[in-house]
Amino acid sequence: MPVNHRLLFLLFLLSFETAQRLVTGDPNDEACLTNLRQSLEDPANNLRNWTKSFFSNPCSGFSSYLHGVICNNGRIYKLSLTNLSLRGSISPFLSNCTNLQSLDLSSNQISGEIPPQLQFLVNLAVLNLSSNRLSGPISPQLALCAYLNVIDLHNNQLSGQIPYQFGLLARLSAFDVSNNKLSGQIPSNLAMRNGNLPRFNASSFIGNKKLFGYPLEEMKNKGLSIMAIVGIGLGSGIASLVISFTGVCIWLKITEKKLEEEEGKISHSMPVY
């Protein structure tokens, strides 16, 4: 076969495979969506068009037939299922959506643990699982998603320690684990940058009773200082009242004694009839 014909044949094969992929969708995305739908409960029926017939080909260029799905070049790159009253759990097969860059399941009633398999979403930049009922530890393996710049896990029931590996994420610009059940010391590389500059403030960590360390310690110390000032003020006020009351009592006693002495003098000077 001549060289030109070979090139044409190869180009034909490539274009055929590309066209077939666009028509049938990516099998990894299909597995991702199928398993996610099975793991979620949808009492409000917001995912009514999440059916098997669409899972095999969810994308049409940049748009999608499925609620909350955004595509890029035939692949799912964003999942946004926020405030839909969803229950159930997060499927570990979400890791099959290998082109995913943003995952937002916030403001639902999803429970269970955060699957460590999410570490395989190597393109993930935004992870928002806030305001759910997630529990268990935060997997340090999530830090393998090196492009993460947003991690929002606030208002859950997560326990254990904050993985220090999160502090190694160079792109991380927003971090919130407030109002959970986390414990232990806040990793110093999340609290401070190089050069002793603050990285994330106390609002990212508050609401975890057993969590300690900077910047929470600074906030507690400020609170103690304010309480001390108030205490000193109250103490001074009470002391002033006591001293004033004691002074009045002494003055009354002295006045009473003087009156008694005056009455005694008058009684001695009066004639007897």
pLDDT score, position 207: 98
How far is the first Cα of the chain from the last one, in angstroms, to the nearest whole number? Answer: 160
Rounded-to-integer distance, Cα 202 and Cα 182, Å:
14
Q: How many residues does the chain have?
A: 273
* Parts of the chain with a pLDDT under 70: 1-24, 195, 218-273
Rounded-to-integer distance, Cα 28 and Cα 26, Å:
5
Per the listing, tokens 């999160």 go with 166
pLDDT score, position 218: 60
Contact 209, 184 (CB under 8 A): no
Contact 191, 202 (CB under 8 A): no
pLDDT score, position 166: 97
Contact 180, 156 (CB under 8 A): yes
Q: What is the pTM of this model?
A: 0.74
Retrieve residue 200's tokens.
Answer: 């994330």
Residue 263 CB coordination number (10 Å): 10
Rounded-to-integer distance, Cα 31 and Cα 97, Å:
8
Rounded-to-integer distance, Cα 16 and Cα 60, Å:
17
Rounded-to-integer distance, Cα 115 and Cα 105, Å:
14
Contacts of residue 21, defined as CB under 8 A and 6 or more positions apart, other chains included, come to: 74
